[in-house]
Copies of this chain bind each other. A is one copy, B any other.
């Protein structure tokens, strides 16, 4: 019951947005695998990490029930279909670099918001809300880097998606806490902020 309530509460953002973010996350992960010439199982694995990894880490840390990625019957099949499409059309998809950068940045913002809002619903302190928002956003990339045995992106000074998520989650804590704005405008502001910071950082290299 508690789980259902929590899910309904967080999904102030319509489910279609939710699934879109998962598709983009899976697409980005799968494309990287396809570009490195991985087998179909590798593409599937990186698509799962990219689309569901952040949410899996978040839900395991919240420890209230099995992760939404496992209880919602739509998530895993969506990722599997995305992985298959990515595997067979990777050449064509790779040409959409610019579009992908923008979509990927929006996904980063979306995952930040979902992670932070879920932590707020669990009544965790503000610092933990920021932590879970950031970790949900970068979790997929972390898992990918770990599976590929490459030094986690996050420690370097490169295009800073972790920093963008951290700033976004902090702003969310202020807007939703002391200022007490309603969740939907807060989500819109934070997603725009995180995506903007991310796109800027990619453009500036």
Interface residues of A (CB under 8 A from B): 33, 36, 38-39, 41-42, 45-46, 48, 56, 59-67, 70-73, 75-77, 80, 119, 122, 124-128, 130-132, 142, 145-152, 154-157, 160, 162-163, 166
Contact = CB atoms under 8 A, between A and B. Distances in A.
A61 B48 CA distance: 15
Contact of A63 (B64, B128, B130): B64
A73 B160 CA distance: 27
A62 B69 CA distance: 11
Given A60-B63, A64-B63, A155-B38, A149 B147 contact: no
Most B CB contacts (10 A, CB to CB) among A46, A60, A66, A151 go to A66
Contacts of A63: 59-60, 63-67
A62 B71 CA distance: 10
A70 B61 contact: yes
B41 A162 contact: yes
A162 B48 CA distance: 14
Nearest to A78: B127
